[in-house]
């Protein structure tokens, strides 16, 4: 076999290439992701994704996470039901936050990776809308309960478009008993007086793990000690920004202990970690200048 491949090296690529096909038809929308997400995608693969909405609808795709090897591992997106349709976009590199809109009720995507160098891949949300209507900005909070046995995206309202003013949004995250939660904040950007607090438990009475504001380096990883986590996103009455996007998934509690004993499961890049549960220090007075309308 080996000798044979010396003379016919092209056969190696054909024989080792990993192909798969994903078809999505939920009219309520959903999520799709690169193979083996939330681990890095494999080398040398070809995966196609077909999304079909009902007649009279179009599709909007938002990439919560997109990191591939620039120019070599690409997701090609066609505005129709096959690769013969019009090219909508060809994405590679770091493109989290990309939003694409189809003209009709089908989209076809082809994810191709080469033989070396991989990355986290992508995790995207798709939504369907009636042709002739525009997605409306959410003036308020998104859903407050997030429960998943696999992994699930979580964002500020309207992400990656701006959130609105005067929000107090709670996000209760839950996975099965016996698991802990790994939360990865993939993108984060607020003005200084808007913030996201993360708590190691079911509500804001639990120990705060972190408070994020401004533009911390991302991704930022958090791990809970139980199967519940709570996030609180607060915005004041002036100035908004794009907010945050993240993904969480359950981790077997035993596995997380085993990983911790070995050393470095969590990136130590969290800008502000609270080592004590005292909440009083979290609150601050907003300076008067912020209340002046320019």
Q: Nearest 5°: phi and psi at 130?
A: -65, 130
Pair 139, 37: CB distance under 8 Å: no
Both tokens of 46, joined, read: 């070809």
Rule CB under 5 A: choose which of 81, 112, 114, 214 binds Ca ion. 114
Interface with Ca ion by CB under 5 A: which range of 110-118, 134-142, 198-206, 223-231? 110-118
Residue (117 or 166) nearer to Ca ion, CB? 117
Cβ burial of 259 (10 Å; 0-12, 13-18, 19+) is: middle
Binding mask 59-98 for Ca ion (x = CB under 5 A): ----------x--xx-------------------------
Residue (71 or 83) nearer to Ca ion, CB? 71
Site for Ca ion in 31-50 (CB under 5 A): none
Rule CB under 5 A: choose which of 87, 117, 260, 273 binds Ca ion. 117
Closest CA to 38 of 174, 150, 188: 150
Pair 60, 67: CB distance under 8 Å: no
Q: From CA 135, how far away is CA 68, in angstroms rounded?
A: 28
Binding mask 125-164 for Ca ion (x = CB under 5 A): ----------------------------------------
Residue (37 or 171) nearer to Ca ion, CB? 37
Q: From CA 17, how far away is CA 243, in angstroms rounded?
A: 38
CA distances from 289 to 191, 193, 197, 238, 285 (A): 14, 12, 24, 11, 12
Residue (4 or 18) nearer to Ca ion, CB? 18
**Number of residues lying near Ca ion (CB under 5 A):** 6
Q: From CA 65, how far away is CA 246, in angstroms rounded?
A: 8
Residue (116 or 237) nearer to Ca ion, CB? 116
Residue (81 or 114) nearer to Ca ion, CB? 114
Interaction between residue 119 and Ca ion (CB under 5 A): no
Residue nearest to Ca ion (CB): 69
Distance between alpha carbon 252 and the CA centroid of its chain, in Å?
A: 21
Interface with Ca ion by CB under 5 A: which range of 115-123, 144-152, 264-272, 285-293? 115-123
Q: From CA 90, how far away is CA 248, in angstroms rounded?
A: 27
Q: From CA 263, how far away is CA 202, in angstroms rounded?
A: 27
Output the smallest distance, CB 119 to Ca ion, in A. 8
Residue (118 or 190) nearer to Ca ion, CB? 118
Site for Ca ion in 186-215 (CB under 5 A): none
Contact footprint for Ca ion (CB under 5 A): 69, 72-73, 113-114, 117
């Amino acid at each position: 076999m080996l000798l044979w491949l010396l003379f016919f090296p092209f056969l190696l690529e054909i024989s080792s290439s990993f192909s798969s096909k994903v078809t999505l038809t939920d009219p309520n929308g959903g999520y799709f992701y690169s193979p083996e997400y939330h681990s890095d995608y494999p080398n040398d693969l070809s995966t196609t994704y077909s999304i079909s909405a009902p007649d009279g609808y179009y599709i909007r795709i938002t990439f919560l996470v997109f990191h591939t090897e620039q120019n070599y591992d690409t997701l090609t997106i066609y505005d129709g039901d096959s690769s013969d349709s019009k090219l909508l976009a060809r994405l590679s590199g770091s493109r989290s936050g990309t939003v694409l809109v189809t003209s009709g009720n089908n989209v076809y995507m082809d994810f191709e990776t080469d033989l070396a160098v991989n990355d986290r891949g992508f995790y995207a949300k798709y939504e369907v809308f009636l042709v002739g209507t525009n997605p409306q900005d959410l003036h308020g909070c998104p859903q407050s309960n997030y429960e998943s046995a696999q992994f699930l995206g979580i964002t500020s309202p309207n992400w990656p478009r701006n959130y609105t003013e005067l929000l107090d949004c709670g996000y209760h995250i839950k996975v099965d008993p016996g698991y802990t939660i790994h939360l990865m904040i993939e993108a984060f950007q607020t003005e200084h007086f808007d913030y996201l607090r993360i708590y190691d438990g079911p509500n804001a009475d639990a120990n705060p793990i972190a408070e994020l504001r401004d533009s911390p380096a991302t991704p930022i990883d958090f791990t809970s000690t139980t199967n519940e986590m709570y996030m609180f996103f607060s915005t004041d009455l002036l100035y908004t920004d794009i907010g945050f996007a993240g993904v969480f998934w359950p981790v077997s509690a035993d596995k997380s202990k085993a990983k911790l004993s070995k050393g470095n499961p969590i990136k130590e890049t969290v800008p502000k970690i609270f080592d004590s549960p005292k909440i009083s220090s979290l609150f601050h007075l907003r300076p008067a200048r912020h209340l002046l309308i320019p």
